[in-house]
Chains A and B, each alone.
Chain A
């Protein structure tokens, strides 16, 4: 399968500190890749570089056969990039415009990216809110009238409005209650099935990673320590750090173990 997103020898330095160190991976069309790591592993910096919010120090990022390692030269170029990659952030309470309803947010994206007449935009906006499971009242409500799970659905619908080939999910289900998280995870699986969009999931939650992705890379202090199919990375981790991550997850019969050094 051809790759829709590939990253080669990506490095980001902030002064003397290397946040991302020679990272390479690729996501096939319709595939789903997880970047697993703890705070400071560099996973969010990678997402920021792919979406153009940070510039790489070196290395290349290619999405849909277009290089995006450098800043877009024109508005048209940047809009094209928006149709290639979209992102859903962790916190649905701060990532939406408080003055915009779901329909309003989606309409803005449709107008900007597709330039459709209002009738077609309205129809597509209805389809999208339906796809993410918002009812008519919720679709027209401002974010402050919605719960966290409903807001995250709005953020997903807004991102999908650009019809991206890749959706970056940066801890997008981490802040949700368990019963709502399951709904959103099922929804994301359905959307991938229906639209063949690819996912780049950034997460510290190994169970979520298992549920949503086929491939995984484990990142520590900016470096990839392990990569492979998600099932084998989690079932048979080769690197000591991956084993430690997995063994730290509470489960029935689990006892927290104090490591010798603090």
Chain B
């Protein structure tokens, strides 16, 4: 397997504490990987590490390799080139698009920096708006962000991320702030453009079902670690890690009312609270044994996926799977 992006043993420490612990995953060309977890699990921090956007004072160990380049060791000019190949879109487009500049200025900024002439940049931007489903592109390019709805602005952000023809797109909860019908529309556009361009995608979300629907594989994070990686079509019905199973079972179901939801006791731990010498999920896990509280499990291959659970093999077939 030749990976486009390979993250290996990545640990990130901030002055306040450790935020990522031994993160390893790979994304092949054209592959979509979902990164799912609750608040504080480290999923956004992982994308920031890949984009080289970690806050000042962050110390990283381990390696990030993109197309055989060492991402953590890029010089400023190499970093500029890297960022044309790795684009990122964020949850709140209004917070990431300059409100006092026109849509056209925002969309063409990266192209202009690459030396593309102004008229040509605007022509490409108008084309791109059409591809993300926004009509009357020429007029939109003259408008300001406040004149567009949230769903439209998110499509503008996706369009401008694709304008430099990146090879990898990092999408951090791009539809979380959108209404559900708009989310479906934006996800359809993102999925279609990604497939037609053979673009790799790292898709971050708290929604297991959404990740499952558009990603080839899904990685589940808990307390700054990856606890499971599994092909998306098997994650829901046949999870490997007790946390994944519990997360799926805790969610209310649109198709039926349950007498009680199977809530996970306690609250999610952030990475810097997590103990080093035991399984971070053990205090909340229905299947935890003494060994889980005395040694830290490693991410290990099992049944076509990977899981970080000491009891994974003996729990096969015994995890709660929700009755469809």
Binding site for B on A (CB under 8 A): 38-39, 147-150, 177-183, 185-186, 189, 204, 206-208, 210-211, 230-231, 234-235, 244-259, 262
Contact = CB atoms under 8 A, between A and B. Distances in A.
B213 A149 contact: no
Given A182-B262, A259-B185, A38 B209 contact: no
A144 B105 CA distance: 40
A250 B252 CA distance: 13
Contact of B257 (A231, A245, A249): A231
Interface in B250-301: 250-258, 260-265, 267-268, 284
13 contacts: A38-B181, A39-B179, A180-B268, A181-B250, A182-B250, A182-B251, A182-B263, A210-B254, A248-B181, A248-B183, A256-B187, A257-B188, A258-B192
B214 interface: yes
B133 interface: yes
Contact of B38 (A177, A189, A250, A259): A177
Given A177-B267, A204-B179, A256-B214, 13 more contacts: A149-B267, A182-B252, A186-B260, A210-B256, A231-B257, A246-B254, A249-B180, A251-B209, A254-B209, A256-B191, A258-B188, A259-B185, A262-B134
A259 B189 CA distance: 10
A178 B210 contact: no
B254 A234 contact: yes
A258 B181 CA distance: 10
Is the contact region of chain A dominated by helix, strand, or loop, or is it mixed?
helix
Contact of A256 (B185, B260, B262): B185
Contacts of A231: 257
Nearest to B37: A177
Interface string B210-228: 1011100000000000000
Contact of B252 (A150, A211, A235): A211
Contacts of B212: 250, 252
B188 A178 contact: no
Interface string B168-188: 000000000001111111011
Contact of B250 (A179, A244, A247, A250): A179
Interface in B150-170: 150, 155
B248 to A, nearest CB: 9
Nearest to B36: A178
A229 B142 CA distance: 47
Contacts of B209: 250-252, 254
A179 B267 contact: yes
A207 B252 contact: yes
Contacts of A150: 267
A89 to B, nearest CB: 17
B241 to A, nearest CB: 14
B254 A183 contact: no
Interface in B226-242: 236-237
Given A211-B252, A251-B254, A178 B213 contact: no
B39 interface: yes
B252 A208 contact: yes
Contacts of A211: 252-253, 257-258, 261
B126 interface: no
A262 B133 contact: yes
Nearest to A179: B264
A167 B181 CA distance: 28
A255 B213 contact: yes
Nearest to B237: A252
A182 B248 CA distance: 11
A132 to B, nearest CB: 14
B67 interface: no
Contacts of B260: 186, 189
Nearest to B40: A177
B206 A178 contact: yes
A177 B257 CA distance: 20
Contacts of B134: 262
A257 B254 contact: no
B324 A207 contact: no
B268 A179 contact: yes
B78 interface: no
Interface string B40-79: 0000000000000000000000000000000000000000
B120 interface: no
A179 B247 contact: yes
Contacts of B86: none
Contacts of B192: 258
Contacts of A208: 252
Contacts of A185: 252, 261, 263
Closest 5 CB pairs of A and B: A262-B133, A182-B263, A258-B188, A211-B252, A256-B188
Contacts of A251: 209, 213, 254
A149 B39 CA distance: 11
B180 A245 contact: yes
Contacts of B265: 183
B109 interface: no
